[in-house]
Structure 1
Amino acid sequence: MSARLEAAEGASDRALAEARALIAEAEAHDGSSPVSDQAVLAAAQGQRALLRFSEAGGAAGEAAAPVAIGIIGQGEIDLAVRPSERGRGIGSAALAQTLARADGELRAWAHGENPAAEALLSRAGFAPVRSLFRMALDPALLPSDGRDPLAVPAPSGLRLRAFDPERPADAGAWVRANAAAFATHPEQGRITEADFALMRQEPWFEPSDLILLAEDPGAELAGSTWIKTVRGDDEVECELYAVGVRPEHAGRGLGRLLLDVTLARMAQHSPDRVTLYVDGENERAVRLYEHASFTVDSRSRQWARPASSGVDDTMDA
C-alpha cells in the first residue's frame, strides 16, 4: 500500500533550499542526481510546479523536512525520495499525486541504474524513449604539461577567451550560440538569458570555467565549452557541463579543439572525478569522447507517457 502524503506547492527560497538539500542527499546516496539542473531552474522561475511531500499525520510544524519532492511542468516530471524513507510506498504516493496535476504527454528520467524508478514509471503507463550516458575519465589521463587552455591553437579568425561577467554582450552571445548548437536538443537548446543568469548564481559557477570560442573580430561565438566544478569536503569533481559548436562551423574540428581545451582547464582543478553526460543516441559525440579515453560509467533512460495513457495513477507500493 502507498503511503499517505500531504503536498505543499510553491517555490519560495525555503522550499527551493529544502528541495536542493533532498536532491543532494539522494545524489550522495545513489551516485547520480535524481533531478536535472534544468528542472530545478524552471521551478525557481515559476515555469514548473515544485511539490514537497510530507507524511499525513506526521509531526506538526513547519520545520518538518519533506520525505519527497516532485517537479512538474513543460511536459516533464521529476521525482526524488529521501533515501531513508524509501521502501514504504513514498515514491508511489508522490508520483500519483504529481501525475494528478498533469495534462498531456509527459516525460520523466530514471537516472542511473534504477530498477525501482523504472518499475514505478512502467506501472504509471510510461515507456522508455531515450537514453543518456554518464561517461567518466581517469583524472590521471588529464594533460600533465600545465598547458594554458586559452593558449590551445585555434583556427584563423577565431580566438579562445573566458566568459567575462563584466561584458554584457557575452551573455547574449553565449545563449545564441548555445541555442544554435543544440537546436534539436529538448533541454539544452532552450536556455534563455534569464535561465543563464540564474545558472551563473549557482555556487559551482566560475567564469573561467566557461570558455568561449569567439569570432575575431566580432562579438558572436563559433562555440563554447562549460565545466561544472563541484568541490566537496574531500572530493573535487569536474563535469563537462556543455560543449557545443554552431552548425555553420561544423567540419572544422572545433569539437575536438574544445574538448582539448576542456581537459586542459579540468587539469588546473586537479579533480578526483571527471565526468560528462551525452545522449546515448549521439554516436558521433560518444565516439569523440571514447577517443579521448572516456568510458561509459552509467546509463539513464527517459520515459514517456502519451496524453491519454488509460492508466490509473493510484499505484501500489
Structure 2
Amino acid sequence: MPLSAVRLSDTLTSTEAARVRGIQAAATAADGVSPLSEQPLLSLSAPSGRVRHLLGYAAERLTGYAQLDGATDADASVELVVDPADRRQGTGRALLDAVLEAAPGARVWAHGRLPAAQALAASAGLEAVRELHKMARPLGAADLDPGASALPPGFTARAFEPGRDEEAWLATNAAAFAHHPEQGRMTLADLEERMTQPWFDPAGFILVEADGAPGEVAAFHWTKVDPEQRSSLDPGEPAGRGHGGAGREAGLPAGEVYVVGVHPAYQGRGLGRPVTGLGLAHLAGLGLPEVVLYVDGDNQAAIRTYTGLGFHSIMVDVMYSRAVHRALSG
C-alpha cells in the first residue's frame, strides 16, 4: 500500500517503539544486516528531545521509520528502515526527503552497502562521504597464549568496576577519540545505558593502568558478546546478504572488539597490540568461534594493524550526504 503520511515526533510510545523493532527485525531477516545500529535502537526509548523520530504510515499502519540524531546540520546523522512487505511504494524516499527537509546537511547511514540503499541515495542526489568496515577473524588457541597479550613493564590490567571507573574511563575515551564523530561524544548517561544492556559484562571490559597511577586509565579494551551478533563461521551458514550471501540468523554469537583506546599521554608505549590481545584472549576463553570489529575506512593505520592481526573486511557500511555538505566539511 502506498505511503499516506510521514509524522515527525520527539518521542515514541511503547507501541510505536515495538512496531519499529518489529520492522527492524523483518528487514534484518530479509537483508542479512540490521538497518538500525546500536545507538538508534537504544534511542527508540530516549526522552523527549534526544532524537527526532519520523514515522511513515500507509493508512493507519506504520511501514517505515527514520531517526534523526544531532542538533545541527553539521553533526546530524540518520538511519532509516522500511518494512520489507512495503518496499517499492515510495516510503523510503518520502522518509529521506522529510529528513533532508528537517536537516539539509544530514548524513545518512546505509548498512551493508545494499543495492537498494545505493539506489535510494542516488535518487536523492546523495554521495558516499564515509565508510565503516566490519572486519572479522576466527578465534583460537593462539589467542590464549599469554605472550600475545603481555603488557610492557610498568602496566597492569584489570576488569572495569561499575561505580568506580566510569569517570576515569570517560576521560580516557574522550581523549583517545577526540576527533571521532560518535565515540568521542559518549557521556555518562550513554555509558550507563550500555551498562544496563543484557550483553554488558564487566569482566570483558578491560582497563590498563600505569604503575603509580591507580584509577587512571592508560588504555582499555571493551569487548562485547551480543546474541544478535552471529558468527559467519558456523558450518553450513552462509554470510549475510550484506556480505553477498543468502542471510544467516541461526549461528553462534561472535565476540566483538567493541572499543579499544589508548590515552594520548600513553601512546607510543607499545600498549595497542597487547591491550587488543587481552580482549581477544577473553573472547577466546569464552569459546566463541569468531571476533568482529568496526573501523573507519579512512583509518588506514588501524586497518593495517587489524589486517596484521588476521582480520579481513566482511561488510561495509556507507554514510551518504549531499555533495555540498561534503565540500564544506572536507
Fold conserved (TM > 0.5)? yes
- Name 2:50's counterpart in structure 1: 47
Structure 2, unmatched stretches of 5+, are: 71-75, 229-249
- Name 1:67's counterpart in structure 2: 63
Q: Is the 8 A contact 1:143 1:263 kept in 2?
A: no
- Name 1:315's counterpart in structure 2: none
**Offset, 1:69:** 1.4
- Name 1:158's counterpart in structure 2: 155
**Offset, 1:193:** 0.6
Q: Structure 1 stretch 219-228 or stretch 87-96: which is displaced more?
A: 87-96
Cα gap change, 1:27 to 1:223, in 2 (>3 Å): farther
Residue 115 of structure 1 aligns to which amino acid in structure 2?
P
Q: Is the 8 A contact 2:127 2:323 kept in 1?
A: no
Residue 155 of structure 1 aligns to which amino acid in structure 2?
P
Query: Is structure 2 residue 87 aligned with structure 1 residue 116?
Result: no
Residue 114 of structure 2 aligns to which amino acid in structure 1?
N
Determine the C-alpha separation between the residues in 2 that align with 1:189 and 1:227. 17
Query: Is structure 2 residue 210 aligned with structure 1 residue 215?
Result: yes
After superposition, what is the alpha-carbon deviation per residue over 1:208-252, rounded to whole angstroms, capped at 9, x for unaligned?
Answer: 121111233321101111112112565212121111111121112
Give the RMSD, CA atoms, in angstroms.
2.7
Query: Is structure 2 residue 196 aligned with structure 1 residue 193?
Result: no
Residue 178 of structure 1 aligns to which amino acid in structure 2?
N
Cα gap change, 1:76 to 1:127, in 2 (>3 Å): same
Cα gap change, 1:8 to 1:107, in 2 (>3 Å): closer
The alignment partner of 1:186 has SS state of coil
TM-score under structure 2 length normalisation: 0.80
Q: Is the 8 A contact 1:148 1:265 kept in 2?
A: no
Determine the C-alpha separation between the residues in 1 that align with 2:222 and 2:18. 25
Alignment of 1:61-140 (within 5 A): 66-74=62-70, 75-100=76-101, 102-139=102-139
Cα gap change, 1:145 to 1:97, in 2 (>3 Å): closer
Determine the C-alpha separation between the residues in 2 that align with 1:69 and 1:87. 15
| Percent identity of paired positions between Structure 1 and Structure 2 | 36
**Offset, 1:26:** 2.5
- Name 2:23's counterpart in structure 1: 22
Residue 63 of structure 2 aligns to which amino acid in structure 1?
V
Determine the C-alpha separation between the residues in 1 that align with 2:38 and 2:179. 19
The alignment partner of 2:166 has SS state of helix
- Across the two proteins, how many residue pairs are aligned to each other? 296
Select which of 165, 168, 179 maps to 1:170. Answer: 165
After superposition, what is the alpha-carbon deviation per residue over 1:5-41, rounded to whole angstroms, capped at 9, x for unaligned?
Answer: 3436223444434333433432343233222323344
Residue 94 of structure 1 aligns to which amino acid in structure 2?
L
The alignment partner of 1:169 has SS state of coil
Query: Is structure 2 residue 255 aligned with structure 1 residue 238?
Result: yes
The alignment partner of 1:286 has SS state of helix
Cα gap change, 1:143 to 1:50, in 2 (>3 Å): farther
**Offset, 1:121:** 2.0
Determine the C-alpha separation between the residues in 2 that align with 1:152 and 1:258. 6
Alignment of 1:302-313 (within 5 A): 302-305=319-322
Cα gap change, 1:29 to 1:209, in 2 (>3 Å): farther
Q: Is the 8 A contact 2:257 2:293 kept in 1?
A: yes
The alignment partner of 1:195 has SS state of helix
Determine the C-alpha separation between the residues in 2 that align with 1:203 and 1:282. 31
Determine the C-alpha separation between the residues in 1 that align with 2:39 and 2:274. 27
Determine the C-alpha separation between the residues in 2 that align with 1:114 and 1:132. 14
Residue 176 of structure 2 aligns to which amino acid in structure 1?
A
Determine the C-alpha separation between the residues in 2 that align with 1:215 and 1:13. 46
